[in-house]
Homo-oligomer: A and B are copies of this chain.
């Protein structure tokens, strides 16, 4: 560890370790939630992936539900997904989805697919998805029926993620991504700038 020069703003090494551990736990939970149904994920699986013990997760986050409630935001995913000018947004979104799946095994946007149909957890995920992804895309669009078009553009993207991340069962090869972007981007773009 480097020297702590300004102790009143920089955390102590112990505090930094705790923060790094919490971040690792959140990252592990986020990873698993994009790949498995809520009920399929055990605290032990999160702990194994984060390299910590299950009791440490309980100490930091209380229980599985309170832990998962912490990783239900789509804000940073939408930042990355929508980081392109409108006239090139379709290709960017398609490439982003396929690259996430190729490099990380799943795109975090697909957490919405595993949102439980009943219960508070699913309701929170759905509300976040709407405001943080669909509504945010809607605000970028011009012309009639912007809300519906945003919804359908996101639908095409979720379908791509489900097909190549779940239904096929084999990950997209990096070399296949360009061809898929060429084929599928016009489908998405048609809803963004009709």
Q: Mark A138-158, 1 if CB is under 8 A from B, else 0.
A: 000000000010011011111
- Chain B's closest residue to A187 (CB) is B187
In the assembled complex, 16 residue pairs joining A and B whose CB atoms fall closer than 8 Å, in A order, are A36-B37, A36-B116, A37-B38, A37-B114, A112-B162, A113-B166, A117-B169, A129-B167, A130-B167, A154-B159, A155-B160, A155-B184, A156-B187, A158-B158, A158-B163, A158-B167
Q: Are A166 and B115 interface neighbours, CB within 8 A?
A: yes
6 smallest A-B Cβ distances: which pairs? A159-B159, A37-B37, A155-B163, A155-B159, A126-B169, A39-B39
Is A35 in the interface zone, CB < 8 Å from B?
yes
What is the size category of the interface that chain A forms with chain B? 35 or more
Is A58 in the interface zone, CB < 8 Å from B?
no
Choose one: B37, B130, B160, B187; the contact of A40 (CB below 8 Å).
Answer: B37
A105 shortest CB reach to chain B, Å:
9
Choose one: B37, B39, B123, B155; the contact of A169 (CB below 8 Å).
Answer: B123
List chain B residues, Cβ under 8 A from A114: 37
Is A122 in the interface zone, CB < 8 Å from B?
yes
Is A190 in the interface zone, CB < 8 Å from B?
yes
Query: A122-B169, A168-B130 are known contacts. Are A116 and B40 too (CB-CB below 8 A)?
Result: yes
Interface residues of A in 159-190 (CB under 8 A from B): 159-160, 162-164, 166-169, 183-184, 187, 190
Choose one: B35, B38, B154; the contact of A163 (CB below 8 Å).
Answer: B154
A126–B164 Cα gap in the complex (Å)? Answer: 11
List chain B residues, Cβ under 8 A from A162: 112-113, 155, 158-159, 162
